[in-house]
Amino acid sequence: MTYPFLRMRGIALSVVTSVTLSLASISPSQAAAKIQHLTSPGGIEAWFVQDATVPLIAMEYSFAGGASQDPKDKPGVANLVGDLLDEGSGDLDSKTFHERLDRRAIELSFSASRDTFRGSLRMLRDNKDEAFDLLRMALTSPHFDTADVERIRSQVISGLRRDSTNPTALASRKFLALAFGDHPYGRQTNGTLESVPTITVADMKDYVGRVLARDTLKVAVVGDVDPATLGTLLDKTFGSLPAKANLTAVPDVEPAAPPQRAFVSLDVPQTVITFGGPGVKRSDPNFMAAYVVNHILGGGGLSSRLYREVREKRGLAYSVFEQLVWMEHSAVFVGNTGTRADRAGDTLDAVEKEVRRIAEEGPTQKELDEAKSYLKGSQMLALDTSSKLAQALLHYQQDKLPIDYIEKRNAIVDAVTLDDAKQAAKRLWGQGLLTVVVGRAPQAAAQPAAATTPKSN
């Protein structure tokens, strides 16, 4: 997920690409920042913005693989690893490790998405050596002590039990199963009540050994550190990881073709509706047209068509949204709303009607112009802290975008024509929807709520 660049030999590190970027939102007194493409002496690559306005450093990084590397019969391994890496490592037990973090106000966390295992590190400049060293220990010598494993496992299982009676969680789970079937994307990243108790320390150590490797590492750093110092820190932190990951191949997958509908019985007053269908991958040349028209339909908050039709005009739901979700091997669009059980049918009809209308007619020129104006203007507001900028730079690397993408983005948005938007709308929504409804059966919708017992058809 990186762009190739040249490594300069015989010097401490290479900064081979820099892009000037207006970032007044990060620092009102700073006119510009430079995104640097940096290579450490040991070959660790990073996108880097040096900003000395405040004495903070934020780093976001990821390894390829994510939850898609979980064994088929043990979903939840990557999630448990993410919860346990900071529970003792090196010569520090869990309590001492967290005391070290707290004493220096170091923020360190890990998480697993379907395609990546991610980490986040944030610290004061003066605590950078200790912060990076604690991260090194977490990545290279996690303990996975029995007491810590069982404590975290219990927390995960408690969350899964709560999800078993949560209509939104049930709708998401059923939608993924409907869209992706037996593909790794159809499984739950946090595992199941059946799988999590069976995950062993050996499973987690195997995951760490296969996934956390330098060849798939992506790094983004923003903050008060000079390039030479950062290069040394990156080498000390990541340099001892295996050179190459040993990943299980994950095939590309087309989501299930709509229209399809599934119902999950749950005796609660409010029905949750999740809807979606095949989306557009980030590498698709028509992605931006899809992104803009999606904003018009359901991604624009109070200004979206779905919000106006479902809430403002009919008062059927408090909120309704829809978004594009793209992954390494597939893409979907997903929407969600909740409504009174006795109005679920009307709500679903209103959503389907508006989706069908934009697929057939496309947006208006006025809607397109307003969406483009919003998407261009909101870009910098979404990058108003060092952490947010680091997250964005990591996402751009994962999406295989060029290092100057932030500068180019508004022009790409501007280039979307009305015909582009109409074609994207037809492509996204012309087939209809994959729909999951979680709530009371229609004939029982008018009855008082009873005990909540989920049942999937």
Inside any domain, residue 122: yes
Q: How much helix, strand and coil, in percent to the nearest 5, is found in the chain?
A: 45, 20, 35
One domain, residues 273 and 227: no
Indicate which CATH number applies to the domain containing 220.
3.30.830.10
Residue 31 lies in a domain: yes
Same domain, yes or no: 279 and 368: yes
- Percent of all residues in the chain with a pLDDT value above 70, rounded to a whole number: 89
Domain of 113, in residue numbers = 14-238
pTM of the model: 0.88
My answer on whether 268 and 206 are in the same domain is no
Q: CA 428, 432, 434, 435: dihedral to nearest 10 degrees?
A: 120
- The domain total for the chain is 2
Percent of the chain with pLDDT over 90: 82
Judge if 217 and 349 occupy the same domain.
no
In a domain, 8, yes or no: no
* Co-location of 61 and 139 in the same domain: yes
Cα separation of 353 and 339, whole Å?
17
Cα–Cα–Cα angle for 376, 382, 388, nearest 5°?
A: 140
pLDDT in tens, 215-234: 999 999 999 999 999 999 99
Residue 248 forms part of a structural domain: no
**The predicted structure's pLDDT at residue 442:** 67
Domain membership of residue 445 (yes or no) is yes
Task: Tell whether 203 and 293 lie within a shared domain.
Answer: no
Residue 295 is predicted with a pLDDT of 96
Examine the domain organization and report whether 282 and 179 are in the same domain. no
Determine the pLDDT at residue 33.
Answer: 56
Place of tokens 């997920």: 1
Same domain, 207 and 297: no
In a domain, 46, yes or no: yes
Stretches in the chain below the pLDDT threshold 50: 1-32, 444-457
Question: How many other β-carbons are positioned within 10 Å of the β-carbon of residue 223?
Answer: 26
Q: What is the pLDDT of residue 383?
A: 84
User: What burial letters (b/e) apply to 63-92, b meaning 16+ CB within 10 Å?
Assistant: bbbbbbbbeeebbbbbbbbbbbbbbbbbeb
Residues 6+ apart with CB under 8 A from 448: none
